Amino acid sequence: MFRTLVGAATALLLSAGVLTAQNFPERELLGVIMWGAGGATDVVARGVTPAVEEALGKPIVMLNKAGGAGAISVAYVHAAPADGYTLLYGAENPQLHGVMGLSKIDYSSFYPINILGRGVAVVVARKDAPWNSFKELVEDAQKRPGEIKMASTGPGGLPHVVSALLNTVAPHKVTAVPFDGEGPGLTALQGGHVDFMPAGVSAAAELIKAGNVKPLAVIDTQPLPALPDIKPITEEYPEMAKYLPWGPFYGVFVKKETPDDVKAKLVEAFAKGAEAESFKKLMAARGNVIMNISGAEAEEFLKKWQSVTTWVLHDSGATKVSPAEFGIPRP
Count Cβ atoms within 10 A of the Cβ of residue 193 and give its class: 0-12 exposed, 13-18 middle, 19 or more buried: middle
Q: Is residue 297 over pLDDT 90? A: yes
Read off the pLDDT band of 223 (50, 70, 90).
Answer: very high
Which pLDDT score, from 0 to 100, does residue 4 have? 52
Q: Is residue 189 over pLDDT 60? A: yes
For residues 212-239, give the mean pLDDT: 95
Residue type, 121: A
Burial 218-242 (b: 16+ CB within 10 A, else e): bbbeeebebbeebebbbbbbeebee
Query: Is CATH 3.40.190.150 the right assignment for the domain spanning 2-118+248-326?
Result: yes
Q: Is residue 269 over pLDDT 70? A: yes
Which pLDDT score, from 0 to 100, does residue 153 have? 83
Answer yes or no: are the C-beta atoms of 129 and 213 closer than 8 Å: no
Q: For 51-63, write each residue's pLDDT tens digit.
A: 999 999 999 999 9
Which pLDDT score, from 0 to 100, does residue 3 have? 52
For residues 22-46, give the mean pLDDT: 91
- The fold of 121-243 is D-Maltodextrin-Binding Protein; domain 2 (3.40.190)
Determine which of 8-17, 41-50, 214-223, 242-251 has the lowest per-residue pLDDT on average. 8-17
For 232-284, give the DSSP string.
Answer: BGGGT-GGGGGG-S-S-EEEEEEETTS-HHHHHHHHHHHHHHHH-HHHHHHHH
Which pLDDT score, from 0 to 100, does residue 19 have? 46
Which pLDDT score, from 0 to 100, does residue 213 have? 97
Q: Break the chain into its structural domains and give their ranges.
A: 2-118+248-326, 121-243
Percentage of the chain modeled with pLDDT above 70: 94
Element at 197 (helix H, strand E): strand 196-200
Q: Is 299 helix (H, G, I), strand (E, B) or coil?
A: helix
d(CA 71, CA 65): 10
Which pLDDT score, from 0 to 100, does residue 7 have? 53
* Residue (of 91, 93, 94, 89) closest to 254 by Cα position: 89
d(CA 277, CA 88): 23
Q: Is residue 6 over pLDDT 60? A: no
Percentage of the chain modeled with pLDDT above 90: 72
Q: For 61-107, write each residue's pLDDT tens digit.
A: 999 998 888 899 999 999 999 999 999 999 998 999 999 888 899 99
Determine which of 4-13, 60-69, 153-162, 230-239 has the lowest per-residue pLDDT on average. 4-13
Which pLDDT score, from 0 to 100, does residue 20 have? 55
Answer yes or no: are the C-beta atoms of 218 and 231 closer than 8 Å: yes
Determine which of 7-16, 28-37, 250-259, 261-270 has the lowest per-residue pLDDT on average. 7-16
> What DSSP state is assigned to residue 329?
P
d(CA 311, CA 167): 13
Which pLDDT score, from 0 to 100, does residue 12 have? 47
Which pLDDT score, from 0 to 100, does residue 2 have? 44
Q: What is the mean pLDDT of the chain?
A: 91
* Residue (of 105, 113, 120, 69) closest to 89 by Cα position: 113
Residues β-bridged to residue 213? 126
For residues 297-318, give the mean pLDDT: 92
Q: Is residue 186 over pLDDT 90? A: yes
Determine which of 66-70, 89-93, 273-277, 288-292 has the lowest per-residue pLDDT on average. 66-70
Which pLDDT score, from 0 to 100, does residue 282 have? 93
Residues β-bridged to residue 78? none
* Domain 121-243 in the same topology as domain 2-118+248-326: yes
Element at 205 (helix H, strand E): helix 201-210
Three-state SS letters, 77-138: HHCCCCCCCEEEEECCHHHHCCCCCCCCCCHHHEEEEEEEEECCEEEEEECCCCCCCHHHHH
For residues 110-114, give the mean pLDDT: 98
**Higher-confidence position of 40 and 174:** 174
